[in-house]
Structures are given as C-alpha cells and as structure tokens.
A and B are shown apart, each in its own frame.
Chain A
C-alpha cells in the first residue's frame, strides 16, 4: 500500500505530511522516556522483522498480492510511540533505500501505516483488551481483530487521499481498496497473532501490552532487580 509519486496532489501530501511529522515528533519525545536497556534492542529487532516480513508478498485473489504491514505487531510489542517509530523508520528506509513509496508521498505513507496502522490502532487494541475478558486467548483475539482493522483503516485512508487528490473518486477507490485489503488483512491478522503467540510463549515479559497475569513486566531499572 506504499503510495508512489504522482497519485497525490500537493495539498494532500502536505496535510498528511504535517500530521505525520507532528505525531512522529511527539513519538520521538515519548521515546526518550520509554527507551531503556530492554526496549532498545527490541525496537531494533522489531524494525528488522517488519522490514523483512514486508518483503514477503503473498498471493491473494485475482492476480494480486499483499504483504504484512506490522503496525499492530510493533505497537503490541513496544507500545504506540515506539511502535509508530518502528513503522516510520521502515517506511523511510524503504523510500530512500529501495525506492518503495514516493518521496512526495512519504508523509501520507507514514500517516496511513504508522500513525493509523500503529499509533491509532494501538488505542483500538487497548479498547478491545479492556472490553474482553482478561485471558491469553482474548488478548490474542484483540491482536487479531485489530490487525485486520489496521489494514482496512490504512487502505481506507489511502482511498480517501486518492479521492481528495482527484486521482480516483471515493465511490470507486474506497470499495476497491477495502475489498482487496479485507483479504490481505486476514494475512496480517494470522501473521501478527502467530508472532505475538511465539513471543508470549518464549518471553512474555517482552510483550509490553501483555499485563494479564502475574506481576507486571519489569521494565524498571535493572539495578533494583539484582
């Protein structure tokens, strides 16, 4: 869903870029407080995994492929701000290093996939987690549903941007984008639930949003816990 140069008009590029810059700026400010000896390597791993997994396009119906987005995975593992930064970094490297996504559309791509796909979807996930019973199964259910929604919301935002830019009317772009991404989103949900399950099985303390059972995960100064 990386928008290339040429699809968006200047107004949409600037507006989405400004919002994206604001959210990323706030994310950088929050990152200062949240980064510690444990989250630094985890953030690096998360970025590397999201980049690698985004390369793995899987076929969906009708000569189309989809790939992992990773916004909800990053947000579930690291929280909204570090998660949003992971996605932003991946998008910047893809744009500048691999010519994937246009430079003039970078703001819109960060808006769709980092701001909506990671930061906003974190809050949807947190809401889902609060509404559901506290168990591992419902935690994973919330992960899965939010993952699917993240792809739908990001592709919906993309369709709105195309429509405002005059590239494709909303009545055409929105159903087409949501239709194909409803299938791609299932892949997103499966991969995210799978990866979160593996991390929960191996190192549940590294899933920052998993606070259902036992003592709270220790993110505090390691000195205290010696």
Chain B
C-alpha cells in the first residue's frame, strides 16, 4: 500500500500538468462569444442592468482573465471609448497563474480543515 500511496502524487502531478497545459495553451484559443447567461441577457434586453452597475469588487488582480500590462488598448467602435482587450499571452498567463494559485490555495485550505489524527490531536488543546 506504501507504493500505492506514493503513486497518488504521480497521478496528482500528471493531472496538474494537464490542467496547467489546458489553461496555458488552450485557453487563449477558447471561444470569446458570450456565454449562455450573457447571450440570454443580450437577447432579452437586460444586459444593461449589469453594464450600468458598478462592480461591488474592483480589486481583482487579473480582471476578465487577462493579465494587466499584457492587454492591448483598442477603441470600442460603438462607444468610442478606449478599452483593454485581452491578448493571447494575457489570457495564457492568467490561466497559468489561476490554475497554480487555486491548486495551492485548495491544498492549504484542505490541510487546515483536515482533522488531526488522534495521536496529533492529543497534543493540541
């Protein structure tokens, strides 16, 4: 069983590599069309409700899955405003950072939550 339990880390590492590869290499080529809810909101005329509302949280380090600084400034044809447009490197790096970060956060959170074994619990208050 020892080998089996060590083997799990091989599986975890392989799975993490697949996840990182998806986020880093595939996500820049993902569809940028509106998703189901966004499309329905557009078609049924309530997308403005979101556009007119100031976001309640404006401190996201990587807004819209595009690393700031790697984005491209373009002029919106309809409004004439200068908007930041994601580039492939901006999306790839966002995916990489997000995937690795969430892996580490989840692992850390799980370790904190995990009940201590009886022998360890004995020393804890």
Residues on A close to B: CB < 8 A? 1-7, 28, 31-33, 35-49, 51-53, 55-60, 62-67, 86, 89-90, 93, 95-100, 102-104, 155, 158, 162, 167-168, 172-173, 176-177, 180-181, 184, 202-203, 205-206, 218, 222, 225-226
Contacts and interface: CB of A to CB of B under 8 A. Distances in A.
Interface in B29-66: 30-37, 39-41, 43-44, 46, 49-65
B16 A40 contact: no
Given A55-B65, A222-B1, A47 B103 contact: yes
Given A33-B115, A104-B56, A180 B49 contact: no
24 contacts: A5-B56, A38-B8, A44-B110, A47-B103, A48-B15, A48-B100, A49-B15, A49-B18, A57-B31, A58-B31, A64-B35, A65-B31, A65-B32, A89-B102, A97-B60, A99-B57, A99-B64, A102-B53, A102-B55, A102-B56, A180-B40, A181-B36, A202-B11, A222-B1
A3 B107 CA distance: 27
- List the 4 closest A-B pairs by CB distance, nearest first: A6-B53, A225-B1, A65-B31, A44-B107
Contacts of A31: 110, 113-114
Contacts of A155: 36-37
Nearest to A169: B44
Interface of B: 1-2, 4-5, 7-9, 11-12, 15-16, 18-20, 22-23, 26-27, 30-37, 39-41, 43-44, 46, 49-65, 91, 94-95, 98-107, 109-111, 113-115
A47 B50 contact: no
B57 A4 contact: no
Which residue, of A40, A52, A53, A180, has the highest number of chain B Cβ atoms within 10 A? A52
Contact of A45 (B15, B46, B64, B114): B15
A48 B100 CA distance: 7
Contact of A47 (B39, B102, B111): B102
A64 B34 contact: yes
A96 B110 contact: no
A2 B62 CA distance: 16
A42 to B, nearest CB: 7
A35 B63 CA distance: 32
Contacts of B65: 55, 98, 100
Given A1-B36, A48-B16, A176 B44 contact: yes
Contacts of B52: 6
A93 B107 contact: no
Contacts of B109: 89
B35 A48 contact: no
A65 B16 CA distance: 25
Contact of A65 (B18, B34, B60): B34
A52 B19 contact: yes
A157 to B, nearest CB: 12
A4 B60 CA distance: 14
A56 B19 CA distance: 11
A173 to B, nearest CB: 7
